[in-house]
Amino acid sequence: MSDPIRSFLAIELPNFLKFKLEEFIRSLQKKTGKTKWVKESNLHLTLKFLGNQPAEKINALIPALTGGYPPLPPFRLTTTKFGAFPSKQRPRVFWLGTAATPQTTLSDLRNRIENSLEPLGFEKETKPFRPHLTLGRSKIPEDFSTLWEYVETHPFPPFSFEVNHFVLMRSILKPEGAEYRILQKFSLRK
């Protein structure tokens, strides 16, 4: 049996948006101490985290995601407000929200993924889907008041782009941070 593959399904971001987010993240870094911020190359919107899986199971999900369904149309995704999970008072994850146009398209895509993968042994997610771009993670409590004040006066402007595919991404953990590689693209069609 081969080594497990750590992977997830995601929406890629256009390079221009990644560049703008990197600029925004650099300004946020100056307002925090120990927060680990996401590298520009790793910015994406996660649709489903698959974890460590045998290669055979990863190979089986490719036809499951491409067959048996009418095509989903491309849609627009727009960045929204900056926030934190679980809360602003106790942030562990800093994120930028997203909204889809038409509104149901992103949730339709997510539901199709969940329904396609359940027969292969991937458990359906029970938490509500809250689409976002993870920008940073904080493991050590600190005072983030300067960060929140900055974001209040310097919000990230809304940015809209067309989503015409999603990807199966491999995550390779390295001492300097995760490295992502695309294993498969899945097209959305008009």
Question: DSSP assignment, residue 98?
Answer: E
Catalytic residue, candidates 7, 11, 13, 44? 44
Q: What would the DSSP string read from start to end of 40-80?
A: GGG-EEEEEEEEEE-HHHHHHHHHHHHSSSPPPPPEEEEEE
- C-alpha neighbours within 13 Å on the C-beta side of residue 122: 26
Alpha helix (H) residue ranges in 87-172: 104-117, 145-153
First to last CA, the chain: 39
Tell me if residue 132 is catalytic: yes
Catalytic residue, candidates 5, 35, 117, 132? 132
CB–CB of 5/51 below 8 Å? no
Contacts of 168 (CB under 8 A, 6+ apart): 7, 8, 9, 58, 61, 62, 65, 182, 183, 184, 185, 186
Contacts of 176 (CB under 8 A, 6+ apart): none
Tell me if residue 44 is catalytic: yes
Cα(62)–Cα(49) distance, integer angstroms? 15
Catalytic residues: 44, 132
